[in-house]
Amino acid sequence: DQQVKQNSPSLSVQEGRISILNCDYTNSMFDYFLWYKKYPAEGPTFLISISSIKDKNEDGRFTVFLNKSAKHLSLHIVPSQPGDSAVYFCAASANGGGADGLTFGKGTHLIIQP
Amino acid sequence: DTEVTQTPKHLVMGMTNKKSLKCEQHMGHRAMYWYKQKAKKPPELMFVYSYEKLSINESVPSRFSPECPNSSLLNLHLHALQPEDSALYLCASSQSGFEGYTFGSGTRLTVV
């Protein structure tokens, strides 16, 4: 049973526009969420995180929104740039502690078109 | 130093071989992790070390044996692997909670 779901395997967005990547989760014990970006044959690179006590966190072009009642989070990238083309993973953990490890979604392949 | 370094980057081994994957970080992180990622799948947690003690083993077969010699190093010893164990093996580390949760670039393992 998948506890973290990214239902869009791929997303194509024009350069300069907003990219919105979605993530849903089923485990109500999850209280910390992270977004990672991954290029082929490389490890995931941390982008942004949010704790369940917040509903929004912003860092430059990246904003993550959390809707706890809907068990849904989204990553907004604006404006989208060609270098943003990669696979984006949503990850979650319970009990606020990194020592529990992360549960990942299957990823969304973002393609930024010129 | 803000990196997690994994060696080797690529490894091909036979089913009767014994090999080790290495992971190193000098950020003072107290938790270190091994993940396994198959093609087109998300990373899956294998082991967690917290303060050099194994705290989580996600029902990983005994042919994978982790070792944490000190707070900066994490090894994964491999023995009698199967071809289906071929994957990208990722190491990560973190400070308390999720502060600085950082992944290495991974070791691409092929079992023949």
Q: What's chain B's Rg over C-alpha atoms? A: 13
Q: Is the separation of the CB atoms in A73 and A65 below 8 Å?
A: yes
**Mean of all residue pLDDT scores within chain A:** 92
Determine the Cα–Cα distance for residues B25 and B11; give it in Å rounded to an integer: 21
pLDDT band at B89 (very low <50, low <70, confident <90, very high): very high
Whether the per-residue pLDDT at A95 is higher than 70: the answer is no
- Report the gap between the CA of A96 and the closest CA in chain B (Å): 6
CB–CB of B103 and A43 under 8 A?
yes
Structure tokens belonging to residue B98: 């999720």
By Cβ distance, the residue of A101, A106, A107 closest to B56 is: A101
Mean pLDDT value across residues B36-45: 90
Mean pLDDT value across residues A69-88: 97
H or E element, residue B50: strand B44-50
Structure tokens belonging to residue A71: 């068990």
CB–CB of B56 and A104 under 8 A?
no
By Cβ distance, the residue of A49, A101, A107 closest to B45 is: A101
pLDDT band at B55 (very low <50, low <70, confident <90, very high): confident
Q: With pLDDT > 90 as the criterion, what percentage of chain B qualifies?
A: 74
pLDDT in the model for residue B79: 95
pLDDT band at A97 (very low <50, low <70, confident <90, very high): low
Which residues between 26 and 65 in chain B have a beta carbon less than 8 angstroms from any beta carbon of chain A? 31, 33, 35, 41-45, 48, 50, 55-56, 58
Whether the per-residue pLDDT at A98 is higher than 60: the answer is no
Count helices and strands (H / E) in chain A: 0, 11
pLDDT in the model for residue A40: 81
pLDDT band at A94 (very low <50, low <70, confident <90, very high): confident
pLDDT in the model for residue B61: 94
